[in-house]
Chain A
Amino acid sequence: MKYVIIGGCIAACGAIEGIRSKDAEGQIIVIDGEKRGAYTRPLISYYLSDPDRYTDIDYRSPEFFKDHRVEVIKARAEAIDRSRQILILDNGEEIDYDRLLIATGANPVMVPIPGADQDWVKPFYTLGDAEQINQDILFAREVVVIGSGLIGMKAAEALHKRGLTVHIVEKESHILPRQLTPGTAVFMHRNLAKEGIDIIAGDEVAVIHPEHQVELKSGRILSADLVIMAVGTRPNAELAVKSGLTVKQGIVVDSYLRTSDDNIYAAGDAAETLNVISGQPEVMALLPHAHREGYLAGCNMGGQDTRDRGSVPMNSVKLLGRNICSAGAAGDEKGELLTWHDNDQLLEIQVRENYLIRYIAINMPQVAGPLTNAIEKKILVAAGDWQEFMEVGPALANIPPAYWQELRRLEANGSN
């Protein structure tokens, strides 16, 4: 069996591990268009905050590809000839495959705001971007970050640590709109303001003027030596579209990570997979998911039939000394909200018909793992038990017994 993987990042590493768990002999080829091997993207903000300290940002050891007997070709995939099962590279080379995995990841969205085409308006997505910004800020004092998602916030934190004046412009009413609720965001806003980071929520950038000025819709004008556009990412599904595969938000796959072509699989930020809370397929561009999907795709490409049971959006991030873990439903899902807080810690959970569907934990990572798992695996715990958990004080030792019983049962069935 000959396996070809397009992309050399997290999902690809997962796929290699998955394939090798089933097939020790088959040939594996990785087509990697990025200069560097598999590094973990979330670490680029750490690199930017302290470039001398974070030099090693590899996801796997340097020997990983060799140890798994993988050939890496540094090139970009240009086209897929599905009828002949051949991949055509940008250098003209043709590679035949039995099983193909598309793990092409995502690209940062650059909103066409007037003036956004100037060279001091940058994305912050690859290590190359971070290295470039690290050069650019040598003579910079002030920066505007557009978007307060995880990428925007981590970029803002890194630049703040480097001594720059940072303004964050967020069009929603609060930062981290995907992770936090308005109530929990207040907790973070206070902290960021205290640190001297300027948060401008509920406003948008209207024009970026060549005189290094950023004009907002409200009329406010900010001066900026650098603008970072961090409004989100979009699946890099161009190759799949060109090859006639079904693509909606991202590349459409079945629960075995197979695309509309039986010999072609997709995983990671380029694919859309099942969100178990909404019941709908969705692009969840997150590192743990990229590995899980890659791994399952690899197992299935190697001859196993394992279903992806789906997942939920989840994040854990540290911002200026505070940790935020969150997982589960989007803000518009219905369910009872329960909140617990104490000085610097906060936990908000959402329960619907005896199932936990969401949580936000600020400076409370201790309980996050079981809560994530309860949501993802839809573990039945009586709503009253969750209430008691919140009343006695959320701690690992107070997780409802029903959760642990179910965990042990799943473990005994080998389905955990």
Chain B
Amino acid sequence: MKVISIPEYCLGCGLCEIYCAAQHDGYNGNVLKAYKKGRPAPRSGLIKFSQMSWLNTCMHCDDAPCLNACISGAIKRDENGIIYIDENHCVQCYTCVMVCPYGHAQPSSESGRIIKCDLCRDSEGIPACVSHCPNAALKLVQGGA
């Protein structure tokens, strides 16, 4: 499974980032609570150019460079094929950052540890970015890159 972006539909509004951030770090999707204390960190980031924009998110690759290159075993794949990170095991070597063609896995500005898309595996239903996209520019599809 992975979320794909349809740049033709993307408005560049950034709601995906906001709901992504609010879905993680224990905020359970509560945007007001999440943003009260400052700027929580979205796992995936929008990329914008003058003519187009899209959400640059994890492809949960079948042969995932980040998983293969992780020196600490912190990056794992679950039974549904979702590539996620056990943040407590991350030693901040950033080898995963160096090998991801999408530049998806990124260090958290707070902890320095890697944060990445986990398809909201700890919550029910479809990923927060998909369910809150106002123009259906994000789709949850089967299969990894």
User: Do residues A59 and B73 form an inter-chain contact, with CB atoms below 8 A?
Assistant: yes
Of A56, A295, A396, the residue contacting B73 (CB under 8 A) is: A56
Q: Which residues of B contact A57 (CB under 8 A)?
A: 72-73
| B28 at the A interface (CB under 8 A) | no
| B93 at the A interface (CB under 8 A) | yes
CA distance A99 to B102 in the complex (A): 35
| A43 at the B interface (CB under 8 A) | yes
Q: Which residues of B contact A407 (CB under 8 A)?
A: 101-102
**B77-106 interface code vs A (CB 8 A; 1 in, 0 out):** 000000000000101111101111111111
Of A42, A315, A369, the residue contacting B102 (CB under 8 A) is: A369
User: Do residues A325 and B98 form an inter-chain contact, with CB atoms below 8 A?
Assistant: yes
User: Do residues B98 and A314 form an inter-chain contact, with CB atoms below 8 A?
Assistant: yes
Stretch at the interface among B15-23, B45-53, B121-129, B131-139: B45-53
| A368 at the B interface (CB under 8 A) | yes
Known: A287-B69, A365-B107, A369-B104. Is A295-B145 also a contact (CB below 8 A)?
no
Of A56, A58, A369, A411, the residue contacting B100 (CB under 8 A) is: A369
User: Do residues A46 and B99 form an inter-chain contact, with CB atoms below 8 A?
Assistant: no
User: Do residues A14 and B68 form an inter-chain contact, with CB atoms below 8 A?
Assistant: yes
Known: A288-B65, A370-B103, A396-B45. Is A42-B71 also a contact (CB below 8 A)?
yes
| A397 at the B interface (CB under 8 A) | yes
| B63 at the A interface (CB under 8 A) | yes
Q: Which residues of A contact B97 (CB under 8 A)?
A: 316, 325, 365-366, 368-369
User: Do residues A291 and B73 form an inter-chain contact, with CB atoms below 8 A?
Assistant: no
Interface residues in A334-388 (C-beta closer than 8 Å to B): 365-370, 372-373, 377
CA distance A54 to B89 in the complex (A): 9
User: Do residues B103 and A295 form an inter-chain contact, with CB atoms below 8 A?
Assistant: no
Known: A365-B107, A369-B103, A416-B101. Is A318-B94 also a contact (CB below 8 A)?
yes
Q: Which residues of B contact A288 (CB under 8 A)?
A: 65, 68-69, 95, 99
A398 to chain B minimum Cβ distance, whole angstroms, is: 10
Name the prevailing secondary structure of the A interface residues. Answer: helix
User: Do residues B94 and A373 form an inter-chain contact, with CB atoms below 8 A?
Assistant: no
Name the residue on A nearest B97 (C-beta): A365
Q: Which residues of B contact A291 (CB under 8 A)?
A: 68-69
Interface residues in A34-82 (C-beta closer than 8 Å to B): 40, 42-43, 46, 54, 56-61
Name the residue on B nearest A327 (C-beta): B98
User: Do residues A43 and B91 form an inter-chain contact, with CB atoms below 8 A?
Assistant: yes
| A107 at the B interface (CB under 8 A) | no
User: Do residues A325 and B73 form an inter-chain contact, with CB atoms below 8 A?
Assistant: no
CA distance A370 to B97 in the complex (A): 9
Q: Which residues of B contact A316 (CB under 8 A)?
A: 93-95, 97-98
Known: A295-B68, A366-B106, A396-B45. Is A60-B93 also a contact (CB below 8 A)?
no
Of B56, B104, B145, the residue contacting A416 (CB under 8 A) is: B145
Interface residues in B20-52 (C-beta closer than 8 Å to A): 45, 47-49
| A399 at the B interface (CB under 8 A) | yes
User: Do residues B71 and A287 form an inter-chain contact, with CB atoms below 8 A?
Assistant: yes
Q: Which residues of B contact A416 (CB under 8 A)?
A: 61, 101, 145
Q: Which residues of A contact B106 (CB under 8 A)?
A: 365-366, 396
Known: A369-B98, A397-B47. Is A318-B92 also a contact (CB below 8 A)?
yes
Of B48, B61, B91, B95, the residue contacting A397 (CB under 8 A) is: B48
| A404 at the B interface (CB under 8 A) | yes
A17 to chain B minimum Cβ distance, whole angstroms, is: 8
Q: Which residues of B contact A54 (CB under 8 A)?
A: 91
Known: A292-B68, A397-B47. Is A365-B98 also a contact (CB below 8 A)?
yes
CA distance A42 to B71 in the complex (A): 7
B136 to chain A minimum Cβ distance, whole angstroms, is: 19
Jot down 10 A-B pairs with beta carbons below 8 A, ordered by A.
A46-B72, A288-B68, A291-B69, A315-B98, A365-B106, A368-B103, A369-B98, A369-B99, A404-B47, A411-B145
Which 6 pairs across A and B sit closest by C-beta, in order of nearness? A288-B69, A373-B101, A369-B100, A291-B68, A316-B98, A369-B103
Q: Tell me the B residues contacting A by CB distance below 8 Å.
A: 45, 47-49, 56, 59, 61, 63, 65, 68-69, 71-73, 89, 91-95, 97-107, 145
Sample of 13 further A-B pairs with CB below 8 A, known A59-B73, A291-B68, A292-B68:
A46-B91, A56-B89, A288-B65, A288-B95, A318-B93, A327-B98, A366-B97, A372-B99, A396-B103, A396-B106, A399-B103, A404-B47, A416-B61
